Amino acid sequence: MRLYRRRNHDIPALNTASLPDLIFSILFFFMLVVHMRKATVHVKYQVPSATQLSRLDNKSLVQHIYIGRPMDETGKVTSQTPVVQMNDKVTNIPEIRNYLIHLVASLPPEERKQLSVSIKADRHVDMGLIIDLKQALREANILNVNFSATMSHKKG
């Protein structure tokens, strides 16, 4: 029988030459995946649910309008009266109409047809406010209007 001699095998040191490449790859991955919000939401809203939903294609020509109860910096609701927010500012419907008229006038003709508005309204907002907003959008000649919702499953 042979006798085997036990050797001490040293674990090689960790190669840190490829560590910057790994960190850069992870950073690049998160830059691609994370969606940066353009506007800070100053209203609290809970979108209604729907059975059929579709995605927006060209998000650069979409103006987002939020309708809900106003919040302070800490996220607490300050009033039960719904307000309208557009472009990081709580505003009223005539100001939104004037802003959109100027926006449509400043766009090239091929982009005017693609301009759309996404309304994110609380499910408990009075429908009269939404109808007034839709009338202001018609006056600004914005006919592509989308309503944000969450998916609900049909019962039965």
- Which CATH number do you get for residue 100? 3.30.420.270
Contact between 84 and 125 (Cβ < 8 Å)? no
Total domains in the fold of the chain: 1
Note whether residue 35 is domain-resident.
Answer: no
Distance of CA 48 to the CA centre of its chain: 16
pLDDT digits (tens, 9 = 90+) for 10-40: 777 777 888 888 899 999 888 888 876 666 7
Percent of the chain at pLDDT above 90? 23
State both tokens at 57: 């294609």
Check whether 62 has a pLDDT greater than 60.
yes
Note whether residue 2 is domain-resident.
Answer: no
State both tokens at 60: 């650069």
Q: What is the pTM of this model?
A: 0.64
Note whether residue 14 is domain-resident.
Answer: no
Note whether residue 96 is domain-resident.
Answer: yes
Predicted pLDDT of residue 149:
75
Predicted pLDDT of residue 31:
86
136-143 long-range CB contacts below 8 Å, 24 or more apart? Answer: 136/93, 136/94, 136/96, 136/97, 136/100, 137/97, 137/100, 139/97, 139/101, 140/97, 140/100, 140/101, 140/104, 141/101, 141/104, 141/112, 142/100, 142/104, 142/115, 142/116, 142/117
Contact between 147 and 117 (Cβ < 8 Å)? no
Note whether residue 6 is domain-resident.
Answer: no
Quote the domain boundaries for residue 81.
43-51+59-151
